[in-house]
Amino acid sequence: MSLIPAKLKIHYREQNTTLVIDVRFNPSEYTLTHASQFAELNIPGLNQPLLQFVRGQATTLSLEVFLDRTDDRESISDDITTLRKTVKIDGELHAPPIVCFEWGDTRFAGVVTSLRERFVLFDRQGGAQRARVQLEMKSYQSVEDQLQDPPRRSPDRTRTWVVRTGDRLDQIARREYGDPRHWRVLAEANGLERTRALQPGQVLLLPSL
């Protein structure tokens, strides 16, 4: 399969500059890994703990790019030096710079967490002309961008509620959804016919609205 050109754009906020590396990318595959973090909620009397969503985790991109200077017979040392800067600290961010991988309609912005170089072709002076570079990146989204996401109409953190003495569905609905009238949602989700007969220790499901 022919190699398709791609770009790695490295943005340095301190100097307000962007360095661009033209690479060749084999489109046969790349890997995106998505994950979420859950906590185990131990409830007495249940056979296994309930899983409680805590937060999402950064998406990870794994791929291999090709650096090739055989056409112009130059060394790829400058490109390699630039790539190595992706795992060094940016003076303003106090962290490595933000890198954007672009290939066709694919665009992934993040930070490089792993960089592995393998040199496969050299000129007569020993300068590398071709290399295969394995990259792992974690997605990056600024706090400002995350705060602009549409609010989620669901319980804030928990997905279950353990009933305590004196609890009522309307009180739980007010606390979790901000509106006591949503007690009907709780009743239907938990198959409750006698909505005032809650038992201490009873576990209620809190569905998304």
Q: Is the pLDDT of residue 28 over 90?
A: no
DSSP 29: -
User: Quick one: average pLDDT of 183-188?
Assistant: 88
Q: Is the pLDDT of residue 46 over 70?
A: yes
CA distance 175 to 170: 9
Q: Is the pLDDT of residue 36 over 90?
A: no
pLDDT at 147: 58
CA distances from 13 to 23, 81, 89, 122 (A): 23, 19, 12, 34
pLDDT at 127: 85
In terms of pTM, does the model score above 0.85? no
Domains of the chain, residue spans: 4-147, 160-205
2.40.30, 2.60.40, 1.10.10, 3.30.70: CATH of 4-147: 2.40.30
Q: 105-120, pLDDT tens digit by residue?
A: 889 999 999 999 999 8
Average pLDDT of the chain is 82
Neighbours of 114 (CB within 10 A): 12
Q: Is the pLDDT of residue 151 over 90?
A: no
Confidence at 179, pLDDT banded by 50, 70, 90:
confident
User: Quick one: average pLDDT of 154-182?
Assistant: 79
Handedness of CA 70, 72, 75, 78 (dihedral sign): negative
Q: For the structural domain made of 160-205, what CATH number should be given?
A: 3.10.350.10
